[in-house]
Amino acid sequence: MERPLSPPESPPAPRRQQGITLIEIMVVLTIVILMTKLALPSLGAAYSNSRARGTLQRLGEDFATLRNVATRGSHSSVTLTLRGDCSWVASIDGNATAAASALAGSLSSDTLPNGLSCTGTLPLTFNFNSRGGISPSANFTFHSPTGQSWPIQVIGSGTVFVSTGAS
**Do the domain assignments include residue 7?**
no
Instruction: Look up residue 157 and give its DSSP letter.
Output: T
Write down the pTM of the prediction: 0.68
pLDDT tens-digit map of 26-54? 999 999 999 988 888 888 788 888 888 88
Is the residue at 14 inside a domain?
A: no
Of 7-21, 77-91, 142-156, the range with the lowest mean pLDDT is: 7-21
Any domain includes 150: yes
The total number of structural domains in the chain stands at 1
Higher pLDDT, 165 or 44: 44
What's residue 111's pLDDT?
Answer: 58
Please, how many CA atoms are within 13 Å of residue 133, restricted to the half-sphere of its CB?
7
Q: Domain containing 139: what range?
A: 22-162
Task: Name the percent of the chain lying above pLDDT 70.
Answer: 83
Residue 5 located in a structural domain: no
4 domain-assigned = no
Q: Is residue 109 part of a domain?
A: yes
Q: Which residues on adjacent β-strands are paired with residue 118?
A: 142
Within-domain flag for 1: no
Strands 124-128 and 95-96 come out as unpaired
Share of the chain above pLDDT 90, in %: 19
Cα dihedral across residues 30, 35, 38, 43: positive or negative: negative
Instruction: Give the torsion through C-alpha atoms of 81, 84, 87, 93, to 10 deg.
Output: -20
129: in domain:
yes
62: how many CB neighbours lie within 10 A of its CB?
21
Question: What is the pLDDT of the chain when averaged over all its residues?
Answer: 81
- CATH number where 121 lies: 3.55.40.10
What does the alpha-carbon distance between residue 84 and residue 99 come to, in Å, rounded to a whole number? 24
